[in-house]
């Protein structure tokens, strides 16, 4: 029953995150205005807002203007619910981790769609991670702060060396947030997996002629994916690697 509750909580959270992503792009409040169709602007009723189910019952179309509803909505709802469940199975009930996961999902989708990492979301995550560490949770604040500094300096060096063509400054700020959240050695797992996944996906896109060598590809989604991977499996992988080196 608790797993079902967490899955439903994740679906509801994902629905809200979709609103946040849309309103961020339009510079609107996600709280002070009721949900509306982005196509016809008609205010939506409660039966239009049931996560996933409304999309299925409406056959992926707005009830009022009949225009297609983006598949982003059910996808993010299911993804958020799945991540909430994965965190629960790995870490137990942890509203802090669910909150950070929600911010990371917003960054993932926003950068993927608009090639931009929203500062306000990064600042919220950085502040939450700092306060959580400062009050003695999640390990050493010193460890996390050093990890954050080193990770951001690494990306800053790439940003300066390439004059912003390889990495955006948003990636520098995101790396600081990641280091503060994950600490050492998990930050290494996150960065390695992000670069590895980025290289693989980049090569696939080039071979499929979807991108060229000089095409722009947002790196934020890979950093977010690496963060989730490190959160769930980082300690196991880091310990295995250290044992491998010592053999």
9-66 pLDDT, tens per residue? 999 999 999 999 999 988 888 877 788 888 888 888 888 889 999 999 998 999 899 9
Q: What is the pLDDT of residues 78-87, one digit of tens each?
A: 999 999 999 9
pLDDT of residue 212: 78
> 158-208 pLDDT, tens per residue?
999 988 888 889 999 999 999 999 999 899 999 999 999 999 998 898 888
More confident residue, 233 or 34: 233
pLDDT at 167: 86
Tell me the percentage of the chain whose pLDDT exceeds 90: 67
pLDDT of residue 27: 83
Give pLDDT tens digits for 126-159.
999 999 998 877 778 999 999 999 999 999 999 9
pLDDT tops 70 at residue 216:
yes
Q: Which residue has the higher pLDDT, 65 or 212?
A: 65
Residue 68, strand partner residues: 61
Averaged pLDDT score across all residues of the chain: 91
pLDDT tens figures, 96-111: 999 999 999 999 999 9
Q: Where are the domains of the chain?
A: 1-93, 117-247
Residue 146: the pLDDT is 95
Share of the chain above pLDDT 70, in %: 97
pLDDT of residue 207: 86
Q: SS in 3 state form for the chain?
A: CHHHHHHHHHHHHHHHHHHHHHHHHHCCCCCCCCCECCCCCCECCHHHCCCCHHHHHCCCECCCCCCECCCHHHHHHHHHHHHHHHHHHHHCCCHHHHHHHHHHHHHHHHHHHHCCCCHHHHHHHHHHHHHHHHCCCCCCHHHHHHHHHHHHHHHHHHHHHCCCCCCCHHHHHHHHHHHHHHCCCHHHHHHHHHHHHHHHHHHHHHHCCCCCCCCCCCCHHHHHHHHHHHHHHHHHHHHHHHHHHHC
Specify the pLDDT at position 157.
95
Confidence of residue 241 (pLDDT cuts 50, 70, 90): confident
Rounded to whole angstroms, how far apart are CA atoms 76 and 67?
Answer: 20
């Amino acid at each position: 029953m608790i797993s079902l509750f967490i899955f439903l909580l994740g679906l509801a959270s994902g629905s809200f995150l979709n609103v946040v992503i849309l309103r961020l792009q339009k510079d609107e409040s996600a709280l002070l205005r009721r949900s509306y169709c982005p196509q016809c602007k008609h205010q939506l009723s409660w039966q239009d807002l049931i996560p996933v189910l409304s999309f299925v019952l409406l056959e992926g179309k707005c009830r009022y203007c009949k225009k297609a509803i983006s598949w982003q909505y059910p996808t993010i709802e299911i993804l958020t619910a799945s991540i909430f469940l994965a965190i629960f199975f790995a870490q137990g009930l942890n509203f802090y981790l669910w909150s950070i996961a929600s911010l990371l999902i917003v960054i993932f989708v926003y950068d993927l769609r608009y090639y931009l990492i929203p500062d306000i979301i990064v600042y919220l995550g950085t502040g939450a991670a700092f306060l959580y560490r400062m009050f003695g949770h999640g390990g050493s604040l010193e460890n996390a702060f050093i990890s954050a500094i080193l990770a951001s300096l690494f990306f800053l060096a790439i940003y300066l060396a390439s004059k912003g063509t390889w990495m955006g400054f948003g990636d520098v700020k995101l790396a600081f947030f990641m280091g503060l959240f994950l600490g050492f050695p998990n930050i290494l797992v996150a960065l390695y997996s992000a670069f590895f996944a980025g290289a693989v996906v980049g090569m696939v896109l080039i071979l499929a002629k979807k991108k060229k060598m000089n095409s722009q590809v947002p790196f934020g989604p890979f950093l977010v994916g690496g963060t989730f991977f490190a959160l769930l499996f980082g300690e196991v992988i880091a310990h295995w690697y250290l044992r491998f080196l010592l053999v």
